[in-house]
Structure 1
Amino acid sequence: MRTRLLLPLLFISGCALEPGESFAVLEPAVRADYTPVAGRDEGNGFQRLASDFELRLDGAALGVDHIDLVGGGGTRGPTTFDPANPPPGYTNCHNGHCHHDDGALVDYEDIQAELDGGGGGAEATVASLHVDADLDLLADQTLSPDCEPSCELGRTHVSRYQWDVSSVMLEGAVRDSRATPRFNDERRFRLALAAAEEATPLMVLRGTVDIPADRENKPRVKLALRLALTPTLFDSLDWAATTPGPDGVVDLNAPENAAIRTAMVEALATLEPQAEVRREDR
């Protein structure tokens, strides 16, 4: 049972009131890149597509506002209370009780009951990784975003994540490799898309992950999130149906190129970011 003691008595007992350690600590890393395929190399940066077009990317960037990590409490079932490693809010466990940060002495049995009753929670955002950057897909760039509200997690199980993408920029050149080409020479192209409203992402990319935050797993979580684009993204696009502008460049934002723009956005929206998780001791 909880026993409320006066603060002076706690000082007399010599027990420090320090908060307990979190169940897990995130160390996130985020990157996005465009990776050419060796078997599709046609020289000078061009990659062969399934449509017999050849494409080269000269510029590519993805604007990412944040990445939400989503989980629920207790999806892995109850955890076992360990006096040597108490849950958040508890410290200095000895003689059958722990000190709570509100000044109470709480029996081991009551703490275990709290842990047992912590399961079954609805899914919610556990932490948001604030990327707030344009990721250059052609550069070797890895970011270490901050977590909101914290990179320290209470007891939960992170099962999925979602990238809120705010903008897409692509530019490059495309040519036809057929003996009878569908158009002559190279066609340069560009695409620049941005979310219509700041609070509404241009697209949301989703993936799954398995990160239990409990006392059965090592607490340090090195989470590497990566979005990889390859030339297969452009395989289904009909570049012969594009219309160059007066400057000879195919502006995919132009109304006459709406069909291929829509197809490209749909292809981008099917991408699934990948996650690599390594667990370590503190």
Structure 2
Amino acid sequence: MRVRLLLPLLLLTGCALDAGEGFAVLEPSLRAAYTSPASREVGDGYQRLSSDFQMKLTTARVRLDRIELLGRAGGGGPTSFDPANPPPGYSICHNGHCDRDDGAQVPYEEVEAELSGGGSAASTVATLAVGELDLLVPETRALECEPDCELPQLTVSSGRWTITALRLEGSVRDARSPPRFSGERPFQLELTASGAQAEPVAVLTGTLDVPSDREHAPRVLLDLALELTPASFDPVDWSAATPDINGIVDLNHPDNTATRTQLLKSITELAPQAEVKRETR
């Protein structure tokens, strides 16, 4: 997980743990936003993509159902597991699992355990409920832990972010000459996972290294960040998408399955960020 502080994050107050109260206490917060570097800006609200298309987002909403913090008793620090680069023996990693060469679908935490030396799989030590997020209106939100923010002796080694709804709206245009299509094309995408057994829209993952023991300061200020940037739209071939009779590219339409798959794969490869601070009180 890349460590980067986007803006000053909200820190909560707390106190040091007394003996027997636990080994660490989490104080988590989340900042979510769509951001674009100045080098991408081309005016009129559009951002430059590596494909020479230009894109403007007018809606970017997600429902981040939960962030599960995974840990292992006596576990070490972060592993080299990166879903965007599947380890040997796996073809692709997406939506919380990796496709193994023998056809099995292996959860991220089991792949991580395998890379850590074959130890037991990490388990959920705390779940952070989030909810609806408007990425075009950045906010920092304090989060609560279930069942508790006090941790036993273990190491929090990763986080699993489950997105159950995604809504994107905007427009694209082509900066090439001659253009692959003329004018501006509005686009829209709306996906929702409904029902307890429904597959999430996307599952993100990232490594952490948060020991919960007597050797580190017990108060853990865990500032998490989810950042969507124009880079997630770079792989999309917008010229291959088919507009409807109104000229709108509806990415939910079966004719645009390939374009939708390109975009969702890129979003699934987003790397959540974290800033970890330890304090005694």
- Match of 2:193? 195
- Match of 1:221? 220
Matches within 5 A, 1:16-35: 20-35=20-35
TM-score (norm 1): 0.75
The count of residues paired between Structure 1 and Structure 2 equals: 222
- Match of 1:208? 207
Matches within 5 A, 1:122-141: 123-131=122-130, 133-141=131-139
- Match of 1:235? 234
**For the residues of structure 1 that align with 2:190 and 2:212, how far apart are their CA atoms?**
40
- Match of 1:244? 243
- Match of 1:152? 150
Matches within 5 A, 1:234-273: 234-273=233-272
- Match of 2:159? 161
- Match of 2:62? 62
Deviation readout 1:24-70 (Å, 9 max, x if unpaired): 11000112211112112110110111111100111101111111101
Deviation readout 1:203-230 (Å, 9 max, x if unpaired): 2100000100111100110101111111
- What RMSD in Å do the two structures reach over aligned CA positions? 1.8
Query: Secondary structure at 2:258's aligned position in 1?
Result: helix
**For the residues of structure 1 that align with 2:186 and 2:153, how far apart are their CA atoms?**
52
Letter in 2 for 1:53: F
Q: Which moved more, 1:18-27 or 1:215-224?
A: 18-27
- Match of 2:50? 50
Deviation at 1:259, TM superposition (A): 0.9
**For the residues of structure 1 that align with 2:261 and 2:120, how far apart are their CA atoms?**
39
TM-score (norm 2): 0.75
Deviation at 1:122, TM superposition (A): 5.4
Letter in 1 for 2:225: R
Deviation at 1:168, TM superposition (A): 1.0
Deviation at 1:19, TM superposition (A): 8.1
- Match of 1:95? none
- Match of 2:80? none
The answer on whether the counterparts of 1:26 and 1:220 sit within 8 Å (CA) in structure 2 is yes
**For the residues of structure 1 that align with 2:253 and 2:121, how far apart are their CA atoms?**
44
**2:253 counterpart of 1:278:** no
**2:72 counterpart of 1:72:** yes
Deviation at 1:143, TM superposition (A): 1.6
Q: 5+ residue gaps in structure 1?
A: 1-17, 77-119
Deviation readout 1:87-144 (Å, 9 max, x if unpaired): xxxxxxxxxxxxxxxxxxxxxxxxxxxxxxxxx875211100111x111111121221
Deviation at 1:75, TM superposition (A): 2.5
The answer on whether the counterparts of 1:127 and 1:149 sit within 8 Å (CA) in structure 2 is yes
**For the residues of structure 2 that align with 1:268 and 1:122, how far apart are their CA atoms?**
26
Letter in 2 for 1:65: D
Deviation at 1:263, TM superposition (A): 0.7
**For the residues of structure 2 that align with 1:136 and 1:59, how far apart are their CA atoms?**
8
The answer on whether the counterparts of 1:24 and 1:152 sit within 8 Å (CA) in structure 2 is yes
- Match of 2:179? 181
**For the residues of structure 1 that align with 2:135 and 2:129, how far apart are their CA atoms?**
18
Query: Secondary structure at 1:261's aligned position in 2?
Result: helix
Query: Secondary structure at 2:142's aligned position in 1?
Result: coil
The answer on whether the counterparts of 1:31 and 1:135 sit within 8 Å (CA) in structure 2 is no
Q: 5+ residue gaps in structure 2?
A: 1-17, 77-118
Larger Rg: 1
**For the residues of structure 2 that align with 1:196 and 1:266, how far apart are their CA atoms?**
20
**For the residues of structure 1 that align with 2:256 and 2:271, how far apart are their CA atoms?**
26
Query: Secondary structure at 1:260's aligned position in 2?
Result: helix
**For the residues of structure 1 that align with 2:122 and 2:26, how far apart are their CA atoms?**
18
**For the residues of structure 2 that align with 1:274 and 1:266, how far apart are their CA atoms?**
19
**For the residues of structure 2 that align with 1:33 and 1:182, how far apart are their CA atoms?**
30
Letter in 1 for 2:241: T
